[in-house]
A and B are shown apart, each in its own frame.
Chain A
Amino acid sequence: GAVVSQHPSRVICKSGTSVKIECRSLDFQATTMFWYRQFPKQSLMLMATSNEGSKATYEQGVEKDKFLINHASLTLSTLTVTSAHPEDSSFYICSALNLMRGATDTQYFGPGTRLTVL
């Protein structure tokens, strides 16, 4: 199946700093990528939808100025957690799919990024 990678896999940062997480589709073009967050023993919660070349759409309750999403190419979306605080510590997972005509609309998930804010 198709492969989606995330970088870094783990990151520890100090409170107040910004952290960038990358989500890459390695062998297909991802017109759309989704960013999810998972707190311990909780389900994955959708944060935002990222479409290539356009602004991301955020779910209710997710601060767009805090979680900056850029989807500048068909293989890369980035999530930047700005001025991170300990409550932002979580497991961030992206998924990617190709919604172009004729493409298989299967959604593939990345391996996740563990963010710890001290």
Chain B
Amino acid sequence: KQEVTQIPAALSVPEGENLVLNCSFTDSAIYNLQWFRQDPGKGLTSLLLIQSSQREQTSGRLNASLDKSSGRSTLYIAASQPGDSATYLCAVPSGGSNYKLTFGKGTLLTVNP
């Protein structure tokens, strides 16, 4: 059974700092890995999707890396801003499907002005 773990559970940083969020998964036979953002009481916003054949994806100040063999992914946020404050979730397909997602519990990020 796929399990997804995110570390740290919470992170508080001053504005402008670069930071790294970590995600690990137990079954390395994944189709892809996604990072999402969730604001309090809201749905999910997809940030980056990395296919299993890729090593990283970049979008603006965000960079996600994937190391399938070690079962790890990182989300790097450069020059953090207060508007980046949210919960960040990573998810991988599991259960024999390329689309049924198993999520981590997320990292609650607070960027202080």
- Identify the A interface with B (CB < 8 A): 6, 32, 34, 41-46, 49, 59, 91, 93, 95, 97, 99, 105, 107-112, 114
B99: which of A32, A42, A59 is its contact (CB, 8 Å)?
A: A32
Cβ of B61 within 8 Å of any chain A Cβ, yes or no, is no
Interface string of B23-51 (1 = CB under 8 A from A): 00000000000001000011111100000
User: Quick check: A112 and B43 within 8 Å, CB to CB?
Assistant: yes
User: Quick check: B43 and A43 within 8 Å, CB to CB?
Assistant: no
For chain B, the bracket of interface size reads 20 to 34
In the assembled complex, which residues on chain B have CB atoms less than 8 Å from the CB atom of A108?
A: 46
User: Quick check: B99 and A46 within 8 Å, CB to CB?
Assistant: no
Closest residue of B by beta carbon distance from A94: B43
In the assembled complex, which residues on chain B have CB atoms less than 8 Å from the CB atom of A114?
A: 41
- Identify the B interface with A (CB < 8 A): 4, 36, 41-46, 89, 91, 95, 97-106
Q: How far is the CB of A54 from chain B (nearest CB, A)?
A: 15
Q: How far is the CB of B10 from chain A (nearest CB, A)?
A: 10
User: Quick check: A107 and B105 within 8 Å, CB to CB?
Assistant: no
Q: How far is the CB of B89 from chain A (nearest CB, A)?
A: 7
Given contacts A44-B103, A105-B99, 7 further A-B contacts (CB under 8 A): A34-B99, A43-B106, A44-B91, A49-B97, A108-B46, A109-B46, A112-B41
Q: How far is the CB of A34 from chain B (nearest CB, A)?
A: 7
Most buried by B among A6, A107, A111, A112: A107
B43: which of A49, A59, A111 is its contact (CB, 8 Å)?
A: A111
Known: A42-B105, A43-B103. A110 touches B43 (CB 8 A): yes
Most buried by A among B89, B99, B102: B99
User: Quick check: A109 and B105 within 8 Å, CB to CB?
Assistant: no
> Which 9 pairs between the two chains have the least Cβ-Cβ distance?
A111-B43, A43-B103, A109-B44, A112-B43, A44-B103, A43-B105, A109-B43, A46-B100, A110-B43
